[in-house]
Chain A
Amino acid sequence: AQSVTQLDSQVPVFEEAPVELRCNYSSSVSVYLFWYVQYPNQGLQLLLKYLSGSTLVESINGFEAEFNKSQTSFHLRKPSVHISDTAEYFCAVSADNSGNTPLVFGKGTRLSVIA
Chain B
Amino acid sequence: ETGVTQSPTHLIKTRGQQVTLRCSSQSGHNTVSWYQQALGQGPQFIFQYYREEENGRGNFPPRFSGLQFPNYSSELNVNALELDDSALYLCASSNGPFYEQYFGPGTRLTVT
> What is A's interface to B at a CB cutoff of 8 Å?
4, 6, 9, 36, 41-46, 49, 90, 92, 94, 97-108
Contacts and interface: CB of A to CB of B under 8 A. Distances in A.
B41 interface: yes
25 contacts: A4-B42, A9-B40, A43-B92, A43-B103, A43-B104, A43-B106, A44-B43, A44-B92, A46-B100, A90-B42, A92-B42, A97-B99, A98-B98, A99-B96, A99-B98, A99-B99, A100-B98, A101-B56, A101-B98, A102-B33, A102-B58, A105-B43, A105-B44, A107-B41, A108-B41
Contact of A107 (B42, B97, B99, B101): B42
A100 B96 CA distance: 10
A9 B40 CA distance: 9
Interface residues of B, number: 24
B32 to A, nearest CB: 12
A100 to B, nearest CB: 7
A105 B97 contact: no
B90 A43 contact: yes
Contacts of A43: 4, 90, 92, 103-106
B27 to A, nearest CB: 17
B103 A45 contact: yes
Nearest to B45: A102
B48 interface: yes
A103 B100 contact: no
A102 B48 contact: yes
7 nearest A-B residue pairs (beta carbon): A105-B42, A99-B97, A43-B103, A102-B45, A44-B103, A43-B105, A99-B98
A43 B5 CA distance: 10
Contacts of A101: 56, 98
Given A6-B42, A99-B99, A105-B43, 6 more contacts: A43-B105, A46-B102, A90-B43, A92-B42, A102-B48, A105-B42
A56 to B, nearest CB: 20
A108 B39 CA distance: 11
Contacts of A102: 33, 45, 48, 56, 58, 98
